[in-house]
Chains A and B, each alone.
Chain A
């Protein structure tokens, strides 16, 4: 089954975007577990890591790896805190263009509102029986140097992102699966604290 055929295609595309946009706008908080699978084309192998993600509107994101290494990325407004076993570092995203763009991609991907980001991505949407799939082609130079494309898979019923695929120029791919998603539940502000 495809919603995107013939004259219905544009209408369906618009409808999908509208529904995802409404869901993203109504999303005040989100938290979930994630599994990240890195496919290394040169070694023909996969590396898996995982952790927990927290999002709070507007612009707060905590991305915490717990397995097999400990690493935490916290975006809070214009500040980013990077924590690993060795050190903590705070970075002003306004002073680092690349950082700002990567942080923005992560944030808008998990929330799903990058579909309306026409300045940074050329987007196409397709539908299957089980999910909506958005393919984003980066338009900006910095992003094009990193990613060939970004593919977002949306759960049809929840209208939420369930999987993010980051496809790189060298053929490597990173797949992030979001699981046990909780929407609009209170999240402790301390989780987003950046000193």
Chain B
């Protein structure tokens, strides 16, 4: 999995572990929050932009690299607290990658809801970090 992700260095998003108080999470209907995303892997990292938007009982999310290439589309159920992947860029679209992403993104969303900004998957040595982009409200 790591090899696949590394080959996508230009494609994605999120993280080291840093404490930051009250990271924004879209709580009101239609609210959108943009984050710089950074994902630290065992042998590299991915970076990009993550956009989360509240729609009903879901938070929809998109993750794309700085050049605009989409890596993931997903939705997070606020009630069931799970993640559904709607689109994964072809070269990452493997069942084992999807499984890890689904679980990790659900954990990351939980962390964000509680005001944190990062989640570390210790088993696979992956750390996800989201940092809100200042002033994204006007965009």
A47 touches B9 (CB 8 A): no
A69 touches B133 (CB 8 A): yes
Residues of B within 8 A of A65 (CB): 66
Q: Is A85 an interface residue (CB 8 A)?
A: yes
Residues of A within 8 A of B62 (CB): 40, 42-43, 172
Q: Mark A138-164, 1 if CB is under 8 A from B, else 0.
A: 000010011000000000000000000
B38 touches A68 (CB 8 A): no
Rounded to whole angstroms, the CA-CA distance of A169 and B93 in the bound complex is 13
Residues of B within 8 A of A89 (CB): 9, 45
Residues of A within 8 A of B112 (CB): none
Q: List 30 A-B contacts (CB under 8 A).
A: A38-B49, A40-B70, A42-B62, A42-B86, A43-B53, A43-B62, A45-B32, A45-B53, A47-B34, A47-B51, A47-B139, A68-B135, A71-B66, A82-B47, A84-B47, A89-B45, A96-B7, A97-B7, A98-B7, A98-B10, A99-B10, A102-B69, A106-B67, A145-B90, A146-B69, A166-B67, A170-B70, A170-B87, A172-B62, A174-B69
Known: A40-B62, A96-B7, A98-B8. 10 other contacts (CB 8 A): A38-B64, A40-B64, A43-B62, A68-B34, A69-B66, A73-B67, A85-B36, A86-B16, A96-B9, A174-B67
